[in-house]
Chains A and B, each alone.
Chain A
């Protein structure tokens, strides 16, 4: 069964450093998303991406965040200057655009620890 993959599984970085989280969505999916989940809290939407551009973003997704689809398979989230409060699990998700089908497939997540 096709699945979303993410690398790395765990990333430790120092405050102020840049990190890039990588995702490979399911190949025939057209919509891509990033969510984050701070330990013990709910999943929060960050951004959605379609047709090579951001379609929606939340208040969390400020100027320090950016997303890119550098080639036909990868989808990346960059955090320019990490803060302690960016420590969280980051999930990538993808979905196909099919009428009535809004299922989002989540990857296993990258645990980001900012020290």
Chain B
């Protein structure tokens, strides 16, 4: 079956760096995305990796290793507003499929 594993909760200090890991077991793999969701809000796209390596977008970076079925989201210079849930999601249904399978999410708490 399909599964995505990520830590349920992470706490980090304002200004610090935090890494949120995601491992996946899926029958197919066509890319890993990361979404941010504030309490009561909608998921917001952060990044997408289809190939191995690091993608950087401002304070956020995402990494993928397809051979290890592993990826992570790196948040630098943490701000209080980064407190939210972060979901990894895979495209696993084919190259032409846009269906996303989400992980259970990691609740990030940024403390002063």
Q: A interface vs B, CB < 8 Å?
A: 31, 33, 35, 41-45, 48, 55-56, 58, 91, 95, 100-109
Subset of 29 A-B contacts with CB under 8 Å: A31-B98, A33-B99, A35-B100, A41-B104, A42-B87, A42-B102, A42-B103, A42-B105, A43-B35, A43-B37, A43-B43, A43-B87, A43-B89, A43-B102, A48-B97, A48-B99, A55-B98, A91-B42, A95-B98, A101-B48, A102-B31, A102-B48, A103-B33, A104-B45, A104-B98, A105-B45, A108-B41, A108-B42, A109-B42
Q: Which residues of A contact B31 (CB under 8 A)?
A: 102
Report the bound CA distance from A56 to B48 in whole Å. Answer: 21
B93 contacts chain A at the CB level, 8 A cutoff: yes
* Measured CA separation A109–B38 after assembly (Å): 13
Q: How many A-B residue pairs have CB under 8 A?
A: 57
Chain A proximity of B108: nearest CB distance (Å): 16
- 11 more CB-based (< 8 A) A-B contacts, given A43-B102, A56-B97, A101-B48: A42-B103, A43-B35, A43-B89, A48-B97, A55-B98, A56-B98, A102-B91, A104-B45, A104-B100, A105-B45, A107-B42
Residue numbers of B with Cβ under 8 A of A are: 31, 33, 35, 37, 41-45, 48, 50, 87, 89, 91, 93, 97-105
Inside 8 A of A31's CB, which chain B residues have their CB?
Answer: 98
| Cα(A44)–Cα(B35), bound, Å | 13
